[in-house]
Structure 1
Amino acid sequence: MRNFWTKIWDTFKKRKKLSLFSLGFCFSILLVTFFLNSPLFKNEPAQVVAPYTKNLIIGTQPVKNQSNEDLFLQPLVFQREHPDPGLIQNNSLVGFSSPLSVSSQILAMKTETELEVSGDKEIKEYIVKEGDSLWQISDKFGISLNTILWANDLNQNSIIKSGQKLIILPVSGAMHLVKNGDTLNQIAKTYKGEVEEIIAFNDLLEDGKIYIGDLLVIPGGQMPVSPQIFSVPLGSSYFIFPCKGKVSQGLHWYNAIDIANDCGSPIYAVAVGEIQRTGWDGIGGNFIRILHPNGVVTYYGHLSKILVEVGEDVSQGAMIGYMGQTGRTTGCHLHFDVRGAQNPLIKYSVGSYLSWK
């Protein structure tokens, strides 16, 4: 009997040691796991959160806060728990929900809770949709309400309708059509702008040379109380048709009519004048500008070939180029605009065929 109880006692002592060893081992594993997952032992970079500010500077410079500290020198996450409607101010900043990646080159803003990265300096044309208001449109394009009012000769009591076309500047400010005798200093003073900003934004040469008929954007400019209206009256026979063809688009930016025909159709000077400028731009493609004796400038865009040179005198009806589809276009046509006077072709409806016979 004694041997039996001795065996039982020996077995219990062995199992007790095994149990204690198992518990100790498990506890050690838990301690190691805890310390390995501690922030003190992790090598992950901390998440950078942009501080909240209502004075974000939108432009080609880094966005700064009120302490003039660079916020967006590299991509980071701007986190807010909820959109803040208080951000919707005259500067068109809007609230947005986190998380939102923000790049270091923010040049434009949308109201649809996102930021658009763009270097676009193009003046656009917007067709009003049902339910639009001037305030909503200004928010949509990230420009001030006054900018839209000034560019479209409207006031705060103006009513817009679906299908109406509005001129949209790429930045808050004013627009100026250069006329004879204008200087950059004078323009900057009139609109309370800065000469250097006008030169930079409009990609002018360093000497600031401007031409009659240039359309300049004055960033941050203010429309004068009594703006001068520059429009030269034209006789019914002052201009001839610039080409034969069908009117494919009615009046649009800038004071233009489109005339469609086969590529290679000849283009003619609508009146006597001097070839002021020729060249290429991303929208108009190959273009010609003619300065006429009365100070009016005519523009011929999307040409396949230019036949004249800057400084050359042309008579009315002189061939100056050929119709094409260069630049931003979907087919062969002439973009014909008039600067400084009413476009005489606006009386022809879309589909009308223009010809001298």
Structure 2
Amino acid sequence: MDIADRVALRDAPVRPADIVPLDRALRLVLQGGRETRSYRVRAGDTLWTIAGRTGMRVPNLQELNPGLSPRNLAIGEVLKLSRTVPLINVSTVYTQTQRQELPCPVVRKKDDRLPLGLTRVLQAGRAGLAEVTEQVICRNGQVVGRRELTRKVLQAPREQVVAVGTWQLLASRSGSGGRLGWPVVGAVTSPFGARWGGFHPGIDIAAGYGTPVDAAAPGRVVRAGWYGGYGNCVDIDHGDGVVTRYGHLSRIAVEEGEQVIKGQLVGYVGSTGFATGPHLHFEVRINGNPVNPESFL
């Protein structure tokens, strides 16, 4: 402990009436001084915000600044402030050892198999732990400074790895943006458009029974089950009104609500529903309207 001010002790005659109890003497030492300073009014200030910011009460502000009222504050006006300060300033320095949590670093990796804006944790992070010894400097009981003396890492943090989606399908033929992947490898046996006096809303891709079917793009499964003439059917929503459909599956490998990445298994080629043989019926719909999938593959 150190007394920051110069203090002189001397003998002096004192009247008995001037002698005060110890607790009152301590209060005088800690609160017996006054410090006067100024404050310049800023835009948005009120008497209450000024009082809160400076540690004063509104009546005290008005007492120090006669004529001051909430309605006549002017930007740039200078107000008088006053606060209690100790008669003697006491500084203390001590050493403190405590444990501190070390935040885990986050590493972000772009992934074009995930939709734009979607994230997926590839590796969970873990906070670390360190034992830190500091020199703490106080003035009149208030901490005014710290200086680190030693630091010992007890447990190193483990980084968290996060995949950040960048894939985005643009509903155009410009070639910009993401492109759809072929859900199966095979020849197109029935194209998009007019067929048998009707309209074929997708393409049929030839493939053997049980051939794995992959998601053409990342997205969220919005249908996974039997759907009329499509038989076992999977619909994936890719955002911006774009949906892909996979029909006549022998078996479904995803669930409704599941997030999938581009190339993820969604089912197997079959001939369920209205199908003449094993193949994949593949559709692309934009805002509910079927478009030619080959424009995006």
Is the structural similarity TM-score above 0.5? Answer: no
Structure with greater strand percent: 2
Indicate the structure whose relative CO is greater, using CA pairs within 8 Å and at least 6 residues apart.
Answer: 2
Structure with greater helix percent: 1
Which structure is larger by alpha-carbon Rg, 1 or 2?
Answer: 2
